[in-house]
Structure 1
Amino acid sequence: MGTFKAAFINEVEKIYRKKKVVVAAILSLLAIVMGQLLVTGVNKGFGLITASSTQFPILVLSLLVNTILPLFTALVAIDVFSGEFSHNTMKITLTRPVSRVKLYTAKISAIAFFVLANLLMVMLLSLAVGFIFNSVSLSVFGILRIVLSYIVTLIPVMSFALIIVFLSNVLKSGTTVFFLSIILFIAFNALSLVFPRYANIFITSMFDWYILWNVDTIPLGKLIREFFIMAGYVIMFYTAGYYMFDKKDL
């Protein structure tokens, strides 16, 4: 357990030394600011309340999971694997007294930590902005729904991230993996629109899984079904990714 903890902390430190993390934070902040400016403009221009202080963070989450978060999650996943292989730093990492399975799991856990930290940062900032501009509509129940919505979003995003991890261990070029990730993201979204009956097969259609948790009557059957589909993605690509990572020549 001690070796895994050390490997995890090391991977987290390597991720947060990257400039991409700073850029992701800045873009997330800009998305919140622009979103609130748009909402404020509509409210004042048309005399409407387009988003309350508890609705605004959900609007921000919808924007985040369909644009910034998948993009930077893919970049981080590629850096963690393809980046180290291409820069020949993986050999140094493997000289530490940690097994490959623990190292692989530590890298996946570090990616998950990045995603969760990004989600929580955006949640807190959007809550603060919503409170400043419309504190009347704030409620404890609404805050609990927001927290739950942001936390459960980690599952579909990490399901997609594990696909990127698998590709990063199959292909040598990080650039190739990145562009392939973009193509997959666009293709999955397009196929979900063209074949709505089979949308649940494509993981990107579940980026809005938080909606099922954010309604008065939770559709338990659909929620469980989609959870098992995502669990299948996680198990399949985690296993396949580790197999390729374990067999990779350094």
Structure 2
Amino acid sequence: MVGFKAALINEIEKLYKKKKVLVAAIVSLLFIVLGQLSIVGLRSGFGVRGVSSTDFPLLVLSVVVNTILPLFTALVTIDAFSGEYSQNTMKIALTRPITRLKFFTAKITAVMLFVAVNLIFVMFFSTIASFIFNSSSFKALDIIKIIISYLVTLLPMMVLVLFIVLFTNILKSGISVFFVTILLFMVFKTLGIVFSSYSGILFTSMMNWYNLWIISDVSFIKILRQFMMLLSYVILLFTGSYYLFDKKEF
């Protein structure tokens, strides 16, 4: 446990020093500001009502989790694996008294912390913006729905992270991993739209599974089914990724 904690702290420090983290925060904040200004403009210029106190943070989440967050998650994940492969720094890290499994898990945990912090950042500022412009319709239940929505989004994002990690251990070039994962992400999204009846087996179609948690008529059967599907993805991708990582010679 001590070795894992030391490795995790080291990975977090490396992530903290990356400019990608700051850029992701700035882009997310700009998106929130521009989104809220656009809604205010539509409301005042065209008489459109806009969105309620709950709708805006969820609208932001829906867009961010399908565009900005996957993009920066891919960059951070690739940098954590392919970046160290190409710079030959992975070998130095593995000379420490720590198993490969703990080291591998520490890297994934650090990336997931990046995702979690990003989601919290977006949730906080989108909620604040919504409260400022829609304070009259704000209720305590809205806060609970928003928190639940952002919290459960971590699971499909974990699947995406492991999906990218798998390719970092297959392809040597970080650029190749980036384009392949982005291309496959877009292909899966398209397949989910074209073949909507089979979209349930694609993890990209589960990015908005938080909707199942906040609807008035909650279906625990559907939630459990998608949870088991996502959990299966996590187990398979983690096992496959670690197997390839363990077989690598550094």
With normalisation by structure 2, the TM-score equals 0.98
The yes-or-no answer on 1:134 pairing with 2:131 is no
Post-superposition shift, 1:39? 0.9
Q: Distance in 2 between matches of 1:11 and 1:246?
A: 18
1:46 to partner: Cα distance: 2.8
Deviations 1:155-208 (A, max 9, x none): 001101101001001111000000001111110011111111110111110000
Partner of 2:51: 51
**Letter in structure 1 aligned against 2:149:** S
Deviations 1:185-239 (A, max 9, x none): 1100111111111101111100001111111111111111111111111000100
CA distance in 2, matches of 1:221, 1:11: 38
Gaps of 5+ in 1: none
The one-letter amino acid paired with 1:203 is F
CA RMSD of superposed structures (Å): 0.9
TM-score (normalised: structure 1): 0.98
1:116-145 CA deviation, whole Å, 9 max, x = no partner?
Answer: 000000000011111111111111111011
Query: Separation in 2 of the partners of 1:219 and 1:75?
Result: 35
Give the aligned residue type for 1:228.
M
How far 1:114 moved relative to its partner? 0.5
- Distance in structure 1 (CA, Å) of the matches to 2:186 and 2:170: 21
The answer to whether the aligner puts 1:227 opposite 2:188 as a matched pair is: no
Matched residue type, 1:48 = V
Match of 1:70 in 2: 70
* Counterpart in the other structure of 1:110: 110
Output the amino acid matched with 1:7. A
User: How many Å separate the matches in 2 of 1:177 and 1:171?
Assistant: 6
Q: How far off is 1:243 after superposition? A: 0.5
Secondary structure class of the residue paired with 2:98:
coil
Map of 1:1-250 to 2, 5 A cutoff?
A: 1-250=1-250
Structure 2 stretches lacking a partner, 5+ long = none
Which 4+ residue blocks in structure 1 deviate beyond 3 angstroms? none
One-letter amino acid matched to 1:126: S
DSSP-derived class of the 2:169 partner: helix
CA deviation after TM superposition for structure 1 residue 45, in Å: 2.0
